[in-house]
Amino acid sequence: MQPFKTHTGIVAPLNRANVDTDAIIPKQFLRKIEKTGFGKHLFHAWRYSDYEGTQENPDFILNQEPYVQATVLLARDNFGCGSSREHAPWALADFGFKVIIAPTFADIFYNNCVKNGILLVRLKPKEVDEIFTFVGKNKGAVISADLTTQTVTAGGKKYSFPIDAFNKECLLKGLDTIGWTMQFQDKIADHENKIKTQYPWLERV
């Protein structure tokens, strides 16, 4: 996982609330266990006019220029609700999204995104409305996100967003939960050695 500090990219407006994980990545594409290759199935039912995914829906935002190169997603309330499938952030990341902005996110989805290096930005509904207005008037507009200062800049205006200190540190260092644990290898080894000394019979067990 790559460290996240700042990112600037084209923002794609997805003006929908309660986008669930089945809409993000439908269940028929969950058979793979690798994290790659899911981007082509992102928002499958909306991006394609046929079940097989061979006919693009020209009305869907991610099939339009310049949004096919978007790396920032702007959405509405309760983004990522539904099941706990980690494939949802895998698909978003594989498509190229680095930042998602919305008023609220489902908790499990939020945590899954952090573990996969995607910054989720919670802003007030009024602020999200302002950014939707800005993006609507400026096709191909870019947005900048700075995790260090916890700010997003859009249309010359800066917005502050909250983030848990632990999640912030993990993103800044590029650590998922396994990576975080591996920072303490020396302490883990010391503890294991102490246990062997104090309770030698455990090794026989």
Q: Examine residue 1 and state whether it is found in any structural domain, yes or no.
A: no
What's residue 133's pLDDT?
97
Q: Do both 127 and 142 map to the same domain?
A: yes
**Residue 135 sits in the same domain as residue 200:** no
Task: Name the least confident of 45-49, 62-66, 124-128, 176-180.
Answer: 176-180
Residue 14 belongs to some domain of the structure: yes
- Identify the pLDDT of residue 204: 64
Answer yes or no: do 65 and 166 share one domain.
Answer: yes
Would you say residue 27 has pLDDT above 60?
yes
Q: Which domain holds residue 194?
A: 176-205
pLDDT at position 197? 77
pLDDT tier for residue 111 given thresholds of 50, 70 and 90: very high
Instruction: Please report the sign of the dihedral spanned by the C-alpha atoms of residue 42, residue 44, residue 46, residue 48.
Output: positive
Higher pLDDT, 54 or 93: 93
| 135 shares a domain with 184 | no
In a domain, 16, yes or no: yes
* pLDDT reported for residue 65: 95
**Is 156 part of any domain?**
yes
pLDDT higher than threshold 80 for residue 71: yes
Residue 136 located in a structural domain: yes
Whether residue 169 is found in the same domain as residue 116: yes
Whether the predicted pLDDT of 196 surpasses 90:
no
Within this chain, do residues 69 and 56 fall inside the same structural domain, yes or no? yes
pLDDT in tens, 137-147: 999 999 999 99
Structural domain count of the chain: 2
Listed residue (158, 92, 139) closest to 120, CA to CA: 92
Q: Report the CATH number that the domain containing residue 118 is assigned in CATH.
A: 3.20.19.10
Reply yes or no on whether the pLDDT at 52 is more than 90. no
205, pLDDT greater than 60: no
Same domain, 98 and 140: yes
Reply yes or no on whether the pLDDT at 129 is more than 90.
Answer: yes
